[in-house]
Amino acid sequence: MGEFIGREVELEVSKIAHGGIAVGRLDGRVVFVTDAVPGETVVARISDDRKKSFWRADAVRILEPSEHRREHVWSAASIDRDPRGRAGGAEFGHIALSHQRELKRQVLAEALQRMAGIESDVKVEQMPGDHAANGLGWRTRIRLHVDEQGRIGPMASRSHSVIPVQEVPLASAAVQAATPFDERFEGIATVDVLAPTRGDARLVLGEQKPTVIRERVGEREFQLDDTGFWQVHREAPGVLSAAVQQAVDDALFDPRAANLDLYGGVGLLAAAVGDRFGPTTRITSVESDARATDHAAENLSDWVGAAAETARVDRWLRDAEQNASTAERDRLRAATVVLDPPRSGAGTEVMGILGRLAPAQIVYVACDPVALARDVALAAEAGYRLDHLRAFDLFPHTHHVEAVARLVRD
């Protein structure tokens, strides 16, 4: 293997695959092609021929462009550059914004059909302000890497090569202004730049000790570490809070049940549930990061029945299943469970235990459509069906899409 790497071939690309890569065929073999748009004919350079079943390639010239192709929003990622020198992190930046959402819809719908047998006509909703801004200026946080000369930039796609840049157009104006493009950094691997809604923009250099910041969502403030997780799009915390509130079926919600917010972070979604159902709402947020749990305890202090526990979700659920009393099992069966897992999804064990605990409803916040579809299929084995689904374009000019789903028992 390796004899075809670097060879340029002509390909017709027909569809988009999970991960935002277009799909073509060469002599019957699948070729995944970056920087192409379905419907195009391109010249692509083979970058990986190690697999018998598929190869990888990068578009280098467009012979027949799609009507949806646009000049890339980030010159550092333009098709005019050598593929090894293209900045990663904006892999849909050459596609019209409305068509990006259509491609994301296709990926989500295909995953649900293929993995869960569900036909879906869900639309991907754009965020306020993104149309006018052409999907730019939404990131309130960025992570840049440091090269051997101390320069900062993103990594190239599927590479550990750092691409020095002088702009980050997906970042908010405050983040862009605070990014030290011309400085040199030695002895650290990363430079994070963030602009919280309260206070000034700041840098986090490498493994710097965390400090506490505050983020505002509607009328509520949340404390968290500047090194901790927070939704990146400026509108995402408010949009997801509202989407979760809408997704909870109030006919199935019992404020006295053992309601759960799993992978709860600093308590954003638990607070959304509490705000909808009132100060006596009982809800426990479970999060493996101890500092995030400490912040969640403070952020959820308005609710008498709210608690935050530090534990891996799978272990916490395993313990609940094994040790819950009959009364506790009844409260879990009456519960609403909010799930916001990492990109890998909740997975077999977590979904299996939830199926056996049989809560009244599961509200699943997903940042990966394939993981969501897999977990919906796992839930179906325990008698749950998908009866509510929304999708949001929280990551314009990238392939990522967020979804909020509700699962209820048949």
According to the model, what pLDDT value does residue 153 have?
98
Residue 351 DSSP SS3: helix
Confirm if 32 and 57 have CB atoms less than 8 A apart: yes
d(CA 125, CA 304): 35
Question: CB count, 10 Å around CB of 328?
Answer: 12
Which amino acid belongs to residue 316?
A: W
Total-model pTM: 0.95
d(CA 89, CA 398): 7
Strands 259-262 and 282-287: parallel
Q: Could you read off the pLDDT of 29-78 as tens digits, one per residue?
A: 999 999 999 999 999 999 998 888 899 999 999 999 999 999 999 999 99
d(CA 267, CA 265): 6
d(CA 12, CA 308): 52
According to the model, what pLDDT value does residue 367 have?
96
Question: Domain 105-130+231-409 has what CATH class?
Answer: alpha beta
d(CA 182, CA 166): 8
Angle CA 285–361–265, to nearest 5: 20
Give catalytic residues, as residue numbers.
367
Q: Could you read off the pLDDT of 255-288 as tens digits, one per residue?
A: 999 999 999 999 999 999 999 999 999 999 999 9
Q: Is 245 annotated as a binding residue?
A: no
> Residue ranges of the domains in the chain?
8-69, 105-130+231-409, 141-215
Residue 145, phi then psi, degrees to nearest 5 = -105, 165
Q: Is 176 annotated as a binding residue?
A: no
Q: Is 287 annotated as a binding residue?
A: yes
CATH 2.40.50.140 fits 8-69, yes or no: yes
According to the model, what pLDDT value does residue 1 have?
60
According to the model, what pLDDT value does residue 154 have?
97
Q: Is 149 annotated as a binding residue?
A: no
Residue ranges in the chain modelled with pLDDT below 70: 1-2
